Structure 1
Amino acid sequence: MIGMAREQRLAEIFMEVADSLTEDFDVLDLLQRLSTRCVELLDVSAAGILLADALGELQVVAASDEHTRLLELFALQHDQGPCVDCYRSGAARTNIDLTSPGATANWPRFATRARETGYVATHAIPLRLRDRNIGALNLFQKSPHQLGESDIALAKALAGVATITILQQRTLEQSHIERTQLQTALNSRILVEQVKGILSERWQTSPDEAFFAFRSYARSNHLRLADFATSIIAGDFDTGAIPVPGS
């Protein structure tokens, strides 16, 4: 997507985000949409948003798709990978050739797993506000082309949107609220992972299909993902009401 078409789509996305930032918005769903939009707007194959937990380790909170191997690749970066370097330094790491000896030397487990999964290039953009780093946006490519300056600038803009989404402008100066918001987003992701496992096993479908059905039902019925996941895990909701994927 190039030129005016991409500019128009980007404007629509920023409006979508602005309209979503109500007092009680669903941060997990919004981050999920931003991950998907990264793939839509940039010439990349997958995207994920990782946040630092209380120990400073990166954890995936949203991804452009829910395939297990992709999520495992994000999870590997809690201790090594471009996202870790990006988070610690606050500087973007772009156009990294995962097939190069340097990538293998710097991140042996990560680079090897990425190649096995079919990715040959990656980018890590910090989620940064002033001098505070809270995580990173991770992009993967299955083709070796380089992202140009305009694409990198757009990726940084989307990372900025994600940062503001997480922290919310009205509470940026309140560090205790900031920590609570970060932990809430991470806890919500854990609940969603549990529900994905429950539904995919119950329906004998892939985690990606289970997540799509779960999220679609939640959005159609104006349910927050974390609250909906909690009710399913507690047995308070009859999952028979959710349309089974492929039925």
Structure 2
Amino acid sequence: MELLILKSPEEAGAAAAAVVRECVRARPDAVLGFATGSSPLPLYDALAGSDEDFSRVTGFALDEYVGLPPGDPRSYASVIDDEVTRRLGLQSGAVHVPDVSAPDLDASAKDYEQAIQAAGGVDLQILGIGHNGHLAFNEPGAPFDSRTRVETLTERTRTANARFFDSPEEVPTLCLTQGIGTILEARHLLLIAHGADKADIVARALQGPVTPDCPASALQLHGRVTVVLDKAAAGGLK
């Protein structure tokens, strides 16, 4: 595990962006895994300010809400389109998002797994971390061998995400998410976190016991992980 600690979220984003650029330069048709939420935004800002060619890159989103109407700006499909595809110059439709409009969500989850495998797997998976240690929407208790599936969001996660909605009641209760086992199959994991409110959970994930009670502790099981933190998020590390 490689750990980089920077002074600010912007500097952390720039350092994480350098990892992504290195991957794409080594393989211009790289398969990237994209996270949403606030954690990777400094990374996407830094990538958008570079002249890297992402035109051959394809990718997969980690998760998607169930129950939002098609085209809803709060859906992760819309966020990926706005923050990643357009800003980085990827081809339209290059980033796959779980199909939550399918009548059979379990079948949709299996199709998503097969699509990742058909693409040859993910070369570099970008990750954030939730306040309760969730990776993607794998909430505490998710098995480390879990695959893409329907997941029920905890109240803590829904409360944390309520800032993107008009009221907490509007936050969906279900999602389709890649599993921990799916994430761990990516060849390189890149975790970015910033802010003092993430300090305790970052320390648990990186230095605490490896347990499903803290899903992000599964990072300790992977052979190649780069963690990029600002100084505040690193405040709980020993």
Which gives a bigger RCO, structure 1 or 2 (Cα 8 Å, sep 6+)?
2
Q: TM-score, normalised by structure 2?
A: 0.28
Q: Which one has the largest radius of gyration?
A: 1
Greater helix share, 1 or 2? 1
Q: TM-score, normalised by structure 1?
A: 0.27
